[in-house]
Structure 1
Amino acid sequence: MDIKTAKTIPINQLLQRLGCEVVKTSGGCQWYRSPSRIEKTPSFKLTRDANGWYDHGTGEGGNILDLAYRLHSGLPLAGKLDGQHVKEALMFIENVMGVRGSLTTPLQQSQPTSPEPHAFTLVNHAPFAVYGRGSSLTKSALYLGTRGVNAERVAPYLEDVTFVGSDGKKRYGFGLPNVSGGYEIRRYGDWAKRSVGTKDVTMFKAQREVAPWHTFYSLIDFCTFITVDKPPIGAYNYLIINSDSLVDIAIAYLDGLPAGFMIHYPHMDESGQRAYHKLVDFLTTHGWMGGDKADLYPGFKDWTEAREQQLGLTIPSVWSSRPSSSKLDQ
């Protein structure tokens, strides 16, 4: 996505994808509760054409790029964005909107808009298949093996998905269902990350009323935990934040729950740390307790990366080889 394309996206569409709702309309301008913090009274205002914004709580404002960087970084705006900040803002917008390239035409007037078509639309979903014909592992199961994941162990949480793009072409993959009825996908063949339907967080609730939460920042890290820890189904509550940009949405869901105990598996890169600390800041001010397991992967971005090195995996194509089942049980 480039700057010109990003600026054609009405800010209210970005806010809609982030789960923000219009609280009131006054003088042709839409007002929201701030997407960067928790508040009861709306202080976040859009211009009439929905191409500009102003946060009365912080005294900040600007265009969609300024907002994207503000939400992505969690840092106050300090003048004009530099090249790196613009790049980060564009990546944030692309992740939230779930598309590349041309999106929508700008609003001519500040009027309610219909939801933007999703980049990919769900056609069918089915239980995740570990084995295909002749009891051989499916390509998806083989791919998981190259990531150090035991496909049989994670199968109850995954689904096989058929979806189409705007070109009408069918595509296949596997993924996690999210709370909005969409899916976080790994596409069959190149295993690229995709979102089908609305991009959102994933939650699995424990069978018992009081259980710890385990929070992950990617599909594959969740699968690594299930492989290594081998927990019974329903033993824990799980939250999978399918993109660092979704941390505010995760906070909104948790805000309606009683305080509990949460264990985090944060990513150690800059974006991951911002998301992690933003979530922890919310939790600690709302009575939650917990900690993190970053000590499992010192020197690595995430647990999966560390485990891949431990198992001697270089992640070639899934057609070449896969680790033995004994390795995946380590």
Structure 2
Amino acid sequence: MNILQIKQIAIVDFLLAIGIRPAKETAVSAWYHAPYREDENPSFKVNKNRNIWYDFATAKSGDIIDLAVLVYRTPNIPQVLKMIERAAPAAPLKVRTFMPHPQPSATDAKQPQAAAFQNLRVQALASIPLLSYLSKRGIDLDTARQECKEVHYTCRGKSYYAIAFPNGAGGHEIRNPYYKGCIAPKGVSEFSQGQTDSVCLFEGFMDYLSFLTLRKRERLSVPCYGADLLVLNSVNNLPKALPRLKACKHIYCYLDNDDAGRRVVDMLRELKGDAVHDMMGAYPLYKDLNDILVGKKKMP
């Protein structure tokens, strides 16, 4: 088999072939004890329709080859492919057609390491270029000044400054017109509004600022006034938010209208069922909350 053929093998059939059965299964998904680590509670999910897996405890995800690398404990891809093929006679593996698994973006791949940020200085958000950038994104500036800071730093000997959004781990998400990244540690950001059994969930802080601006201008139908607000600061932070989300009676998801956003909604619905509300479903022509704010529709 070539790599394309290997990737079309159903992950659930591959797991069955190596003797691993699901702890829980539906027509569209299967939950397992992670097959490559100790896992007391089933936290490893396979999406049958997309033929991808997600480990809620470690935030790892991928296709069948990514899984086999972990199962067989080797980064040697030719060897991994042979071992997947070798498993085939043990149980008839089915070859199916699936949408390809999305790859990490170039922005993620180029993000500097935390150690590259030096001479950090956090202060009130006041820089005219940064405020101008937020204004062009439609963000209410009074809201931005209240929720964000401004950070100055050096990176590889050069000086930079950016909008800084604090997270609960003590780090900052940073952004300017040319760069989007994080000064470690990475973490989620939570804001209590008093209604602790409900939460509005956002992927990034620009979505959060857009939500506050739209709500302030009464341009958004919000059924969750008073709900706590939680910003993931990356969909990969979902495992860090799960203890908080599991306690909620209502989770209002203001996530991106893309594969990553829909995948998070699907995962949460596996855990919480009807408690999860996809708020962006009412705005199919917009990718995210900021696009609603500035009136930028997706191409038809």
Same fold (TM over 0.5): yes
Residue matched to 1:162: 152
Helix, strand or coil for the counterpart of 1:53?
Answer: helix
Residue matched to 1:221: 207
Residue matched to 1:153: 143
TM-score (normalised: structure 2): 0.59
Residue matched to 1:45: none
TM-score (normalised: structure 1): 0.54
Q: Which runs of 5+ in 2 are unaligned?
A: 1-35, 45-53, 58-68, 81-93, 218-224
Contact 1:163 1:196 in 2 (8 A): no
| Number of equivalences | 219
Residue matched to 2:269: 280
* Larger RCO (alpha carbons 8 Å, 6+ apart): 1
Q: Cα 1:99–1:278, aligned 2, differ >3 Å: closer, same or farther? A: same
Helix, strand or coil for the counterpart of 2:138?
Answer: coil
The letter for the 2-side match of 1:293 is: M
Report the aligned-residue RMSD. 4.1
Residue matched to 1:120: 117
How far off its partner does 1:282 sit?
2.6
The letter for the 1-side match of 2:148 is: L
Contact 2:257 2:284 in 1 (8 A): no
Residue matched to 2:189: 202
The letter for the 2-side match of 1:251 is: L
- 2:229 paired residue among 235, 238, 250: 238
How far off its partner does 1:173 sit?
0.5
Contact 1:121 1:197 in 2 (8 A): no
Contact 1:118 1:198 in 2 (8 A): no
Contact 1:261 1:289 in 2 (8 A): yes
Q: Which runs of 5+ in 1 are unaligned?
A: 1-29, 40-51, 55-59, 67-77, 101-115, 133-137, 313-330
Report whether the alignment pairs 1:301 with 2:291.
no
Q: Which has the higher strand share?
A: 2
Residue matched to 2:254: 265
Q: Percent identity?
A: 21
How far off its partner does 1:283 sit?
3.1
Which stretches of structure 1, 4 residues or longer, exceed 6 Å deviation after superposition? none
How far off its partner does 1:296 sit?
4.7
Cα distance in 1 between the residues matched to 2:258 and 2:275: 23
Helix, strand or coil for the counterpart of 1:264?
Answer: strand
Contact 1:212 1:262 in 2 (8 A): yes
Contact 1:122 1:197 in 2 (8 A): no
Report whether the alignment pairs 1:99 with 2:99.
no
How far off its partner does 1:290 sit?
4.4
Residue matched to 2:278: 292
Deviations 1:70-115 (Å, cap 9, x if unpaired)? Answer: xxxxxxxx99xx9x64xx45549x84x8736xxxxxxxxxxxxxxx
Helix, strand or coil for the counterpart of 2:295?
Answer: helix
Cα distance in 1 between the residues matched to 2:38 and 2:187: 20
Q: Cα 1:209–1:264, aligned 2, differ >3 Å: closer, same or farther? A: closer
Cα distance in 1 between the residues matched to 2:121 and 2:291: 31
Q: Cα 1:146–1:89, aligned 2, differ >3 Å: closer, same or farther? A: same
Cα distance in 1 between the residues matched to 2:198 and 2:267: 20
Q: Cα 1:299–1:209, aligned 2, differ >3 Å: closer, same or farther? A: closer
Cα distance in 1 between the residues matched to 2:231 and 2:37: 30
Contact 1:119 1:196 in 2 (8 A): no
Contact 2:168 2:187 in 1 (8 A): yes
Deviations 1:152-199 (Å, cap 9, x if unpaired)? Answer: 12321111112333x143321112111211111113xx3421111122
